[in-house]
Every structure is written in C-alpha cells, then in structure tokens.
Structure 1
Amino acid sequence: MWKEVAAGAMSEVEFRAPVGAAALAEAERRLDRSLPSQLTELLMETDGMVDEWGSGIVWSLDRIVDQNLLFWSPDSFPGLYMPFDPLLFFGDNGAGDQFAFVLTPARPDIFVWDHESDSRLWAARELEDYLHRYLAGDGDWWR
C-alpha cells in the first residue's frame, strides 16, 4: 500500500527491501518506545524512501534509531533546543529540517522541526497525508 501511495504521487521514488519483524522489535528495544503503527507498516514494505534528489522522505530503520537516540541524548544539544523526547524523527527535507511523529501525547500528526528556529510546525494529518504533501510539494510545502 505505502509504495503505491508514494509512486502515485511521484514516479522518482527509490524503495528498499522491507524490514523484518525481528529488526523492528530490536529497534523498539533500543529506542525503549514503540514505533507508530503507520511507520511500522511502511517499513515492512520498504526500508525507507528517497526522492530523486536524495532527500530522506522516510529514513531507513537504522537511521531512524540512530538519529532519535542522538536527539534524545541529554548531552547532544544542551540548552540549544527545546526537548526532542516527545518526537520521533523519521525523515527530512534535504536542507536540515526534519519530520517527526508526536509520541507524547500519542497522535498520528506529523510535525516538522525547523533546525534554524527550533520551531515545530504541523505538516500533515498522518503518514499518508505526509507522503502526498511531501511528494507533490515544492520546497517548504508545510509553511
């Protein structure tokens, strides 16, 4: 389903081999949190999506884990940004801004973190809406 949604919005999307249940369980163990169900479903179809310019529409599972562990670490950005604990980053725009699910309180909405202003802006209702908006949008489509 997820590959069809992305391919329907943009023909130049790169897909990868799907992620297995064991890898997903290990990722959730390392993160000490459950992944949103829509993200899990997508990863079981393709381990991330990259657009024609190399931007991480949806990162690989390994990158999702690594980036979030970095951003959640209290030593990574002391006093520089608001806390990232409520967010689960999973993609980027290729220019530094990153997309995230809100984990606390749990909700399907996608927000974008602006790396220059530390603002967190609503971007999409849920993952399918995010894919449509991302792949059909130009530049900073969420603004």
Structure 2
Amino acid sequence: MWKDYFQGISKDCIFSTPATKDEIDKVESLLNVSLPQEFKEIIFETNGVKESGLGLIWPLERIINENKHYRDGVLEEYYMPFGNLVFFADSGIGDLFAFPVAQDGVCRDDVFVWNHINDSRMWVAPSVTTYAEWWLNGNLEI
C-alpha cells in the first residue's frame, strides 16, 4: 500500500527492507517516544524511502543514530534542546524534518523542519505523507 503511494508520487522512490515490530518498538523505547501511527505503518512496509539519493524517510537505524547525536548535549551550546523532536529525514542542505514530541512522549502527526543555520523550527506539513507529497512535488519550500 505505502510503496504504491510513494511510487504514485515519484517512480524514482527506492525502499529499504521492511522493519519489524520489534525494531519499531526499539526505536520508540530508545527515544522514549510513541511515533505517529501512519509513520509506523510506512516503516513497517518500507523501513525508509529514498528518492534521487535523498533520504525522504530514513531507515530506523539512521533515525536512532541521528536523534542520539542531536540529543547527546554536545550541540547544547549552539542550539535549543532537541528532545522535543524526532528527526526522520533530511533536506539535503543540512536542515532536518521532524515530528514534535508532546510532554507525554507522543509524537504529533505534524512535520516540522529544523533550520540548522538559525535553529528555527517551522511547521511544514500536517502528516508524513503530506510532507512527502509536497516535498517530491516541489510544493514544500524551506
């Protein structure tokens, strides 16, 4: 279903091997969050989507590594804390796409972009599928 959705937007989409429920649970446990249901369904079928070499949706291993890197405190001197975001994709120019995390650890469906130059966090889409569609169609500018 989700592969068809992404292929309908761009025939250049490449998918990773589907993730298991245990792998998704591991990410949620390590990051202390509950990922959006739609996102989990996509990862369960694709475990990442690339388009033209860009990580439209990262595989779970990269999600873990990137989020651990940004949450480790080393960048605290330069940026606001990242614990209220779960990064899942990159723009190719240094900015990262993320789900906002509520105080109870539940990720909202909304997608924000973090600007690596000025540390702003801006809403860009109401869901991961809308983000993907707008990004691939050129309707999302950051």
Superposition pairs for residues 113-132 of structure 1, below 5 Å? 113-132=114-133
CA contact (8 A) 1:56 1:92 kept: yes
AA partner of residue 63 (structure 2): I
Cα distance, 1:34 vs structure 2: 2.0
- Distance in 2 (alpha carbons) for counterparts of 1:142 and 1:84: 22
- TM-score w.r.t. length of structure 2: 0.90
**What's the counterpart of residue 99 of structure 1?**
97
The alignment partner of 1:69 has SS state of helix
Q: How many residues align?
A: 139
- Equivalent position of 1:26 in the other structure: 26
C-alpha contact (below 8 Å) 1:97/1:115 kept by paired residues: yes
1:31 partner letter: L
**Percent of aligned pairs with the same residue?**
36
Structure 2: 5+ residue stretches without partners: none
Pair 1:12-2:12 in alignment: yes
* Match of residue 35 from structure 2: 35
Matched position secondary structure for 1:94:
coil
Normalised by the size of structure 1, how large is the TM-score? 0.90
Normalized per residue, the structure richer in helix is: 2
- Give the C-alpha shift of residue 26 in structure 1: 1.8
Match of 1:78 in 2: 76
State the AA in 2 paired with 1:56: G
Per the alignment, residue 136 of structure 1 pairs with 137
Q: In structure 1, which of residues 74, 87, 90 is the aligned counterpart of residue 88 of structure 2?
A: 90
Distance 1:24 1:61 in 2: 7
Runs of 5+ unmatched residues, structure 1? none
Q: Deviations over 1:72-119 (max 9, x none)?
A: 122x20220111111100001111111001112642110001111111
Is residue 2:50 matched to residue 1:64?
no
